[in-house]
Amino acid sequence: MTMAYILAVNPDILAAAGMDRGAVFTATALSAAVGTAVMALVARLPFALAPGMGLNAFFAYTVVVGMGYSWQLALTAVFVEGLVFLLLTFLNVREAIIGCIPLNLKRAISGGIGLFIAFIGLEKAGIVSQGQGTPLTLGDLSQPTAWLALGGLLISAVLVYRRVPGALLIGMIATTLAGAAVGLVSRPEGWGAPPSLTPVFLQFEWESLWSRDLLMVLLTFLFVDLFDTAGTLIGVSAKAGMLDEKGQPPRVRQALLADAVGTTCGACLGTSTVTTYVESAAGLAAGGRTGLTALVTAVLFLGSLVLWPLFLVIPAAATAGVLVLVGVFMLSPVLETDLDDFSEAVPVFLTLLMMPLTYSIAEGIVFGVVSWVLLKVLGGRWREVPWVTAVLTGLFLARFFY
């Protein structure tokens, strides 16, 4: 339920690139089901996948609208990215990159993701908004959607405090019903078979893929997806107490394989990059620890194809409160960090700060890793820096200046 918004939002975003909205809805549901099922059956982990927010906006507004490329060419770049990720996963390159992130930064990633998804919830409900003269400001609280979201937050928080099973789901349902009662949630319209995939299925364009600009687009897809997925796996696993003694998520190679398979299949079906979702934390907060959690989620994504009109009436206010509470849950690993050591405290703080401010898990990780390496080296503790982490920092710095 906390991920249900993607079934309505992703088609809207990709429609700006000229793609058929109905076909993208079907592709979104199917690609989420495929990726999540692989996570459940192969990795046996309680994480869910779907077309990633941010990556879909980059696809539509930067590559297609901004750079002027066709959506078919952008979809081809996503497909190639998925194949490259499959190769990197089999070679253990992605796993090695995750392993080189310091333990305290892994804890900070959990907290940073918590702040990030709480911010997403508040922004979607209109409780915070872009300011005039300031980057952010308090939203218009005279709007009923804001009060509906705040009421939903209060209901969910009370249920969690009283340890009511299924508190987050109950809170969302109560908020949706309250919205319907005051006219903020419309009745679903139209039923029948889900929209056809034909307008977007296997719509690849190979002729211009290897131009210099498109290679940069491909690298951007690779970079953002890699660290969004890595950050989510680490952060959510840290909150659930699932990291091993080396700070590694369990069965990380299989989890990364699920992400690569989801992206490749998603591009064939007709949607942007599929990635592991931070909203998976809601399932862990409710007690999910095995692949059964992900398998149920995959089945429900398939079920959305039958009940698709219902998902178009779920208001952002109904999920805002849950996202804020999940953000609260994910802050606790930060308490294990030694903030008296400034070479650890500053990177931890930058990781926490930059994720919500840049609206990107990947950028938060970049600032955290680069600052950690620089402080260790300049502080005379360069022997603590693994060579893979040093190489990664060099690539990050090159990216800033290129």
Which residue is listed with tokens 């064939």? 268
Which are the contacts of 1, defined by CB distance < 8 A and separation ≥ 6?
168, 169, 172, 282, 314, 319, 322
pLDDT tens by residue, 105-120 = 877 887 887 888 788 7
Half-sphere exposure of 183 (CA within 13 A, CB side): 1
pLDDT band at 262 (very low <50, low <70, confident <90, very high): very high
**So what's the pLDDT on residue 402?**
65
Alpha-carbon span 272 to 266, nearest angstrom? 7
Alpha-carbon span 7 to 319, nearest angstrom? 14
Which residue is listed with tokens 């299989």? 254
pLDDT tens by residue, 268-292 = 999 988 988 877 877 887 788 888 9
23 backbone dihedrals φ, ψ, rounded to 5°: -65, -40
What residues does each domain of the chain span?
Answer: 6-117+191-310, 332-401
**So what's the pLDDT on residue 140?**
84
Alpha-carbon span 370 to 373, nearest angstrom? 5
Alpha-carbon span 399 to 402, nearest angstrom? 5
What single string gives the DSSP state of each residue in 339-354? TTSHHHHHHHHHHHHH
The 3-class secondary structure across 46-61, one letter per residue, is CCCEEECCCHHHHHHH
CA 43 vs. chain centroid, Å, equals 18
Contact (Cβ atoms closer than 8 angstroms) between residue 319 and residue 2: yes
**So what's the pLDDT on residue 160?**
84
| Residue 109 one-letter amino acid | I
H runs (alpha helix) in 187-341: 212-239, 252-269, 280-285, 291-303, 308-311, 316-329
Instruction: Report the DSSP pairing between strands 49-51 and 128-130.
Output: unpaired
**So what's the pLDDT on residue 216?**
66
For the whole prediction, is pTM greater than 0.75?
A: no
- Could you give the percent of the chain with pLDDT greater than 70? 92
**So what's the pLDDT on residue 24?**
92
